[in-house]
Amino acid sequence: MLVIFTVITYTNRDIPALGSQEKPERVIHLVTGEFKAALPDGKVIEAYRWDPGTIYVNTGEKVKLSLYGVNGAEHPFVIEGTNISGVVKKGAETIVPLQFNKEGVYRLICSTHADIAHNGPMIAYIVVD
């Protein structure tokens, strides 16, 4: 008689508890970026950006926004339509927990680079469906 045993092991992080409806928070990564170019007269122009420039989340979804500073010393920011603000520093990660309960487009705006006159606009769009 041939008997075959199969042993399967799981840890708590591999599968959710029975009956659990909670989804883990999704992490969305953005970085700071910079574009530079020289005009024919030698003048250097530059613009700072969030990359990616548009992210999508579901209404009620718990998200962690991971903002990493690559270019520029620091970028103070606000998320329009919320009370969320902070600063992203070069070489550092800033984590922002998000959960939107209303559909819409929310702008992540760097206050240092808010328009062309200040090497921007450094704006990312958070689209909530």
Q: Give me the long-range contacts of 83-88 (CB less than 8 A, separation at least 24).
A: 88/32
Q: Is 119 left (phi over 0), alpha (psi -120 to 50) or beta?
A: left
The predicted model gives 82-93 an average pLDDT of 97
Q: What is the pLDDT of residues 34-75, one digit of tens each?
A: 999 999 999 999 999 999 999 999 999 999 999 999 999 999
Q: What is the H or E stretch that residue 95 is in?
A: strand 93-98
The predicted model gives 63-89 an average pLDDT of 97
d(CA 44, CA 15): 53
DSSP state, residue 10: -
Token digits of residue 75:
């970028």
pLDDT band of residue 5 (cuts 50, 70, 90) is very low
Chain centroid offset of residue 13 CA? 24
pTM higher than the cut 0.75:
yes
Find out whether 88 and 108 touch, Cβ atoms under 8 Å. no
Find out whether 64 and 28 touch, Cβ atoms under 8 Å. yes
Place of tokens 């530059």: 46
pLDDT band of residue 18 (cuts 50, 70, 90) is low
